[in-house]
């Protein structure tokens, strides 16, 4: 049994390793760096560690982080962390593993939401151990072990408006609890709010305020998300909160620019909806889009960037040296420079019945909020790129069957090989190539789809369908201001100089910079840029590079 000292208010760092020498060494290194502000608890077996966690929980002591060895008798590190999550759900988790166990550990980590893994030996700790623990502690402090104030959402599963509200809350990391109007508690809350079935969704805030069929902007305001800018003039306005926009916001604010990021729905973009991104540099065990987005958003805020949510940008114009952004409500803000990082949206599936059932069984993107409701159902994923593959792997953990409907002849042309291999190992995923959805059927929700594969057409039962078919930029609001190509993407830099001639209306005695649009001081990063590489890493890189070019532009003014 692990000995627990008298009750302390210091957050606990726990280390679990069956090798006494290793256990003492980890505790020693942790104590040297963190002992003043944290209490170090060590255990030499998973069972002892679970007992210690239960005692700490009963005494109300916060557990900030747990470092567990992967290879232990009776209970390995993954098995231990699975049970530890139930006892100390707020604690951050890391796995200690030998080099020989790395592949097995990475595969197993997919089963548990582990933040990091560490290779043994970790000498020197200043380079290998402490940066990991610093990240664990920082993340824990951002969430802490405070009671979570949840917004209550009352609605109906097959209401598109209810899905939209829950999706908005989830993608903005706002805790909420959902109640169906068909359940006694949901009916009670609906009555208490003085609302009826036609008013759903009904959101009940932590102070008891009831909102009937609220807009995204009303939800954002009720949740404490920032919707109004502090100033009316900035050095840099970033439009779009995906990886490219977040990259620009982080680098702009960290380099001293007064920076504001404006997002229409929720930060993260398409990447924020990915269940697990496994080929992003620095995350060998993968990271969910939500985790990556949350870290980037907190990083931007740390450096002083403002993040405005649920603000619809409808116009951009030049007034002298200022670049003015107009919002849908008629208000506006201005800046010396702008980065357009609006990304792309999934194309609509043009088949009879799909539009009527969107939000009621048919969804665009991964819609992770629907995963629990898919348990035992037959789920269809439409698309053959990485986002569709990631969704298939994610929903396979919940659904009875997952069918990947791919229009092309194979996955190899559009999906990363690591993801193809992963899909091949999952028994309840079926891949149908040369196949397409030609119709969706259902009364108040999706019930079946019609598939066409070659000359064969068949109708199959479907509980939910998630669509990932290509991408289209939302740039109509820029028409007449910056050049766009025939598909709506924005060309930049050298692509704007044709036969030695700069774009019409160009006012500077130089060619546009590499990421600069046809209007000086307006830069483009990420998927919305013409001929960009559609990867998270390249989007972040372009966001950072755009800020470097912003500095160069500002120096000219």
Structural domain count, the chain: 4
Do 384 and 458 lie in a common domain?
Answer: yes
The pLDDT tens digits of the residues spanning 47-95 come to 999 999 988 877 778 899 999 998 888 888 888 988 888 788 889 998 8
Which helix (H) or strand (E) covers residue 93, if one does?
A: strand 92-97
Q: What pLDDT score was predicted for residue 146?
A: 52
Length, in residues, of the chain? 557
SS (H, E, C) 29-58: HHHHHHCCCCEEEEECCHHHHHHHHHHHHH
Do 410 and 523 lie in a common domain?
Answer: no
Residue 291 resides in a domain: yes
Do 464 and 476 lie in a common domain?
Answer: no
Question: Which of 204, 223, 242 is the last residue in one of the domains?
Answer: 223
Do 208 and 256 lie in a common domain?
Answer: no
Residue 89 resides in a domain: yes
510: which 2 tokens? Answer: 């130089």
381: which 2 tokens? Answer: 């994923």
* Phi–psi pair at 219, nearest 5 degrees: -65, -45
Residue 88 resides in a domain: yes
Q: What pLDDT score was predicted for residue 1?
A: 45
Do 279 and 327 lie in a common domain?
Answer: yes
SS (H, E, C) 109-157: HCCCCCCEEEECCCCCHHHHCHHHHHHHHHHHHHHCCCCCCCEEEEECC
Do 308 and 330 lie in a common domain?
Answer: yes
Residue 228 resides in a domain: no
Residue 3 resides in a domain: no
Q: What pLDDT score was predicted for residue 106?
A: 62
283: which 2 tokens? Answer: 């995350």
The pLDDT tens digits of the residues spanning 288-317 come to 777 788 889 989 999 999 999 999 999 999
Q: How far apart are CA 406 and CA 208, in angstroms?
A: 47
Question: Which of 402, 437, 469 is the last residue in one of the domains?
Answer: 469
Least Cα distance to 157 among 370, 356, 380 occurs for 370
Cα radius of gyration (the chain): 25
| Interaxial angle between packed helices 417-424 and 386-395, expressed in degrees from 0 to 180 and rounded to the nearest 10 | 30
Domain CATH for 381: 3.50.50.60
Domain CATH for 180: 3.40.30.10
Do 321 and 380 lie in a common domain?
Answer: no
Q: Are 331 and 324 in contact (CB under 8 A)?
A: no
* Phi–psi pair at 299, nearest 5 degrees: -65, -45
Domain CATH for 23: 3.40.50.2300
Displacement of CA 156 from its chain's centroid (Å): 25
SS3 66: strand
Q: Are 281 and 540 in contact (CB under 8 A)?
A: no
The mean pLDDT values, 10 residues at a time, for the chain of 557 residues are: 59 93 92 94 92 84 91 85 84 83 60 75 87 90 65 91 91 87 90 90 90 94 92 97 96 97 90 77 77 89 95 96 96 98 92 96 85 91 94 92 96 93 96 97 96 95 94 92 96 95 94 97 97 92 98 95
Residue 137 resides in a domain: yes
Residue 6 resides in a domain: no
Do 18 and 112 lie in a common domain?
Answer: yes
Do 121 and 19 lie in a common domain?
Answer: yes
Beta-carbon contacts of residue 356 (< 8 Å; ≥ 6 apart): none
Least Cα distance to 94 among 73, 62, 63 occurs for 63
Do 246 and 332 lie in a common domain?
Answer: yes
Q: Which residue segment(s) compose the domain that 187 sits in?
A: 151-223
Q: What pLDDT score was predicted for residue 259?
A: 98
Question: Which of 449, 469, 489 is the last residue in one of the domains?
Answer: 469
Do 116 and 170 lie in a common domain?
Answer: no
Do 79 and 133 lie in a common domain?
Answer: yes
Residue 1 resides in a domain: no
């Amino acid at each position: 049994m692990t000995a627990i000292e008298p009750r302390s208010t210091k957050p606990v760092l726990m280390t679990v390793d069956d090798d006494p020498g290793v256990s003492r060494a980890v505790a020693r290194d942790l104590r040297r760096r963190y002992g003043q502000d944290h209490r170090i608890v060590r255990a030499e077996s998973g069972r002892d560690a679970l007992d210690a966690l239960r005692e700490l929980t009963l005494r109300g002591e916060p557990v900030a982080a747990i470092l567990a060895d992967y290879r232990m008798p009776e209970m390995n590190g993954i098995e231990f962390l699975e049970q530890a999550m139930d006892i100390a759900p707020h604690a951050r988790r890391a796995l200690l593993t030998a080099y020989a166990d790395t592949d097995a550990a990475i595969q197993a980590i997919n089963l548990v939401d582990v933040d990091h893994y560490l290779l043994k030996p970790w000498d020197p700790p200043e380079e290998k151990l402490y940066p990991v623990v610093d990240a664990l502690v920082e993340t824990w402090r951002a969430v802490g072990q405070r009671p979570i104030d949840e917004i209550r959402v009352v609605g109906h599963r097959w209401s598109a408006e209810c899905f939209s509200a829950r999706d908005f809350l989830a993608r903005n990391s706002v805790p909420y609890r959902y109640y169906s109007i068909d359940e006694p508690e949901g009916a009670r809350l609906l009555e208490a709010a003085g609302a009826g079935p036609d008013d759903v969704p009904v959101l009940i805030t932590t102070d008891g305020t009831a909102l009937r069929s609220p807009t995204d902007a009303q939800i954002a305001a009720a949740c404490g998300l920032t919707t109004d800018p502090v100033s009316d003039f900035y050095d840099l306005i970033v439009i779009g909160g995906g990886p490219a926009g977040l990259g620009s916001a982080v680098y702009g604010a960290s380099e001293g620019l007064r920076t504001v990021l404006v997002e229409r729905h929720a930060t993260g973009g398409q990447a924020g909806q990915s269940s697990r991104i496994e080929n992003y540099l620095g995350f060998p065990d993968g990271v969910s889009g939500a985790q990556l987005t949350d870290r980037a958003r907190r990083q931007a805020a740390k450096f002083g960037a403002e993040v405005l949510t649920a603000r619809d940008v409808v116009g951009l114009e030049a007034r002298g040296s200022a670049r003015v952004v107009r919002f849908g409500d008629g208000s506006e803000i201005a800046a010396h420079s702008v980065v357009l990082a609006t990304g792309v949206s999934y194309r609509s599936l043009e088949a009879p019945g799909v539009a009527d059932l969107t939000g009621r069984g048919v969804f665009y993107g991964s819609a992770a909020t629907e995963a629990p409701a898919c348990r035992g159902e037959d789920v269809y994923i439409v698309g053959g790129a990485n986002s569709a593959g990631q969704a298939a792997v994610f929903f396979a953990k919940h659904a009875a069957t997952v069918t990947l409907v791919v229009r092309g002849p194979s996955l190899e042309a559009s999906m990363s090989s690591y993801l193809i291999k992963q899909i091949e190992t999952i028994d309840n995923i079926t891949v149908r190539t040369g196949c397409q959805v030609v119709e969706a059927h259902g009364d108040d929700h999706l019930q079946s789809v019609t598939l066409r594969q070659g000359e064969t057409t068949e109708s199959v039962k479907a509980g939910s369908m998630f669509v990932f078919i290509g991408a289209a930029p939302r740039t109509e609001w820029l028409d007449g201001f910056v050049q766009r190509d025939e598909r709506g993407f924005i060309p930049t830099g050298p692509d704007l100089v044709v036969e030695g001639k700069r774009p019409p209306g160009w006012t500077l005695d130089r060619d546009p910079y590499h990421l600069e649009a046809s209007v000086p001081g307006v830069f483009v990063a990420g998927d919305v840029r013409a001929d960009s590489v559609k990867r998270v890493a390249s989007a972040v890189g372009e966001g950072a590079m755009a800020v470097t070019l912003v500095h160069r532009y500002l120096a000219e003014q």
